Amino acid sequence: MKLFEIEKYRTHKSTNNEPFNSSEDKPLFSDELEEILDSILDKCGQISIWYFDKLQGDVPWAYVCFYDEVDIAGHIAASRPEESSIRFSPYCYPTNPDAEDFTPKVGTIMVHDKSDCEEISKNSTLFNNIWNELKHCDKDRNWLLLVDTLPDDLKKLTEQENKKLWLMNS
C-alpha cells in the first residue's frame, strides 16, 4: 500500500453572466500521484482529473484506489453500516448497469468520515488493513491510499458469492 496526502481546491461557476458561485471541492494530486492514477485509469480510457471530477460530492477524507477494478462490491455492502459515509465507484463504465443481477466493480472507495473507516474495520479484513494504514492520518486533511492486493479471504470470494452479497445488501 502507498499513502499520499492530497490537497483540495474549491471551484467557482458562473452561468449566464451571473456572479461566480462557489461550487464544490475537487482533489489536487501531486505529479507523481497523477501519473500513477492516469496509468490505472488509462485501461478505461480515462484520466484522473476527469474521473475524480465526476465522483459526486466533496473530496472525502480518504480515497482508497486499487490498481485494477475488483469484484468486492458485495463485500463492501455487507460490511458497512446502513448509515455509512463509505461509497465506491468503478473505473470503467459498466456495460449493462440496469440488468437485474448487475453487480458493480470497485475501483475507488470514498471514505468521507474517518470514524466510519474505523467502524467498518471491525467487519472486514480489507478495511482493517485500510484502517491500519490510515488511522494515524489527520481527520481534517485528505488522503489517497493505493491498494495493491486484496486480503486472502477476498481473493477467494467468488463472483457468485460477491453477487449474492451485493443483491442481499444493496
| Whether residue 22 has pLDDT greater than 70 | no
In 3D, which of 60, 61, 53 has the Cα closest to residue 11?
Answer: 53
Task: Name the residue type at position 6.
Answer: I
The single-letter DSSP state of residue 42 is G
* Domain limits, the chain: 2-8+25-169
In the chain, % helix, strand, coil (3-state, to 5) comes to 35, 25, 40
| pLDDT tens readout for residues 38-60 | 999 999 999 998 899 888 678 99
| pLDDT tens readout for residues 115-155 | 999 999 999 999 999 999 999 999 999 999 999 999 999 99
Q: What percent of the chain has pLDDT over 70?
A: 95
pTM above 0.75, yes or no: yes
